[in-house]
Amino acid sequence: MPTISISKKEVDGLLDTQVEKKFQDSRRSYWRVEEDGYVHAQSVYWLYCWAETGMGHRKAALECLEMFNQIFPFTFEYFKGRVPDDYPRRYRYMFKRDDYIDQELDRLLKA
Query: To the nearest whole percent, how much of the chain has pLDDT over 90?
Result: 70
When pLDDT is averaged across residues 58-68 and rounded to a whole number, the result is: 97
How does pLDDT run across 82-110, given as a tens digit for each residue? 999 888 988 777 656 678 888 899 999 99
The residue that leads in pLDDT, 51 or 3, is 51
Beta bridge partners of 10: none
How high does pLDDT run on average in the chain?
91
- List the chain domain ranges: 8-110
Q: Categorize the per-residue pLDDT at 66 as very low, low, confident or very high, splitting at 50, 70 and 90.
A: very high
**What pLDDT is stored for residue 108 in this prediction?**
94
Over its C-alpha atoms, the chain yields an Rg (Å, rounded) of 13
Q: What is the dihedral of CA 20, 26, 32, 37, to 10 degrees?
A: -10
Query: What is the pTM assigned to this prediction?
Result: 0.91
Closest CA to 64 of 56, 79, 74, 53: 53
CB of 90 closer than 8 Å to CB of 70: no
Q: How far apart are CA 101 and CA 30, in angstroms?
A: 15
